[in-house]
Amino acid sequence: MPAVHQVSKDRREFYRRIDKAHVAPLWEVLHTLVTPEPKTPCQPVLWQWKTMLPWVLESGKLISTKEAERRVLVLENPGLRGLSRATHSLYAGLQLILPGEIAPAHRHSQSALRLIIAGEDAYTAVEGERVTMHVGDFIVTPSWTWHDHGNPGAEPVIWMDVLDLPIVELLDAQFMERPGVESQTTTRSEGQSYARYGHTMLPIDFKPRSKTSPLFWYPYRRSRDSLAELARSEDPHPCHGHKLQFVNPASGGPAIATIGTFVQLLPKGFRGRSYRSTDSTIYCVVEGSGRVRLGEQTIAFEAKDIFVVPSWMKHQLEADADTVLFSASDRPVQQALDLWREAEG
């Protein structure tokens, strides 16, 4: 902590004069701008499913998807209240769509992901292709692509949204457009995207439209099978268990240019080694139970709970049963800018 110093009368007068021209002395604020380690208002937080589910369902009685456009309860970090942020760089929320409803089509410059948490048989449509959503599925909505959601099934469907809203806002690059129709016209058969890009092959005439994956549906059954095979064939990483990153099959880069997405299996009884990294991370518990230890604080979690680990905070993951965690962070942005750092122990 820098020593508190008295500012001389001459210096105060100088500051007053330059302030009128919107100028300020760096030496008075340097220690708060360039810090020895990351300093963030983002705090560890847990949103329990058993608490959130009744509120999400109650919201379905209070407002329609037509009125709300997107019926979502925003997950606000306690250190960032009023900013619609789960971390400094990412927005997260729980979205509900009831049987018979349609969340109308729109597009925006923000990239989005959906992780399906509860319910079956709803769909999302991206650029003219629908996919039926199942629990655990990870779905990508690339920047500036038309998308809508519908639920022709018999039960409510709930998913976690994660968007790069704060990143886009920081860069003043926000755009949104509505087509004037509730649903976009379906122009491709369901599963076409997966057939083209989901089997380590690409169409011969493929030309990338963006840095985001052309594959927008990553089915949980495939992710779970991959994790199970890793668990059978190799020892878990001492910090992460068995962890995989979702990638763009056309480039090998992240599935979303601004949002890193991961899935990991913590075997029953796993006790992870301490780890930290500069990307604040949103976790959703797909299955299982356990806890995350953050210094003197311990957060116990169960299936469908969501929790946040802030930047550069040492933490240890533990599992009471075989546990699968989905996670999202701004790691691709940090890596692209040569800022990302990690440390074990």
CATH 2.60.120.10 fits 45-344, yes or no: yes
Strand partners, 148: 125
pLDDT for residue 6: 73
- Compute the average pLDDT of residues 317-339: 98
What is the per-residue pLDDT across 117-149, written as a single tens digit (0 to 9) for each?
999 999 999 999 999 999 999 999 999 999 999
CA distance 24 to 14: 10
Q: For 155-168, how does the pLDDT look when each residue is reduced to its tens digit (9 = 90+)?
A: 999 999 999 999 99
2 contacts 31 by C-beta, under 8 angstroms: yes
Kindly compute the dihedral angle of the four CA atoms of residues 135, 141, 145, 151, in this order, to the nearest 10 degrees: 20
**pLDDT value, residue 187:** 87
Model confidence at 2, pLDDT cuts 50, 70, 90, reads: very low
pLDDT digits (tens, 9 = 90+) for 61-96: 999 998 999 999 999 999 999 999 999 999 999 999
pLDDT (average), residues 105-128: 96
Q: What percent of the chain has pLDDT over 90?
A: 93
For residue 1, the model assigns a pLDDT of 44
Break the chain into its structural domains and give their ranges. Answer: 45-344
Kindly tell me if the per-residue pLDDT of 295 is higher than 50. Answer: yes
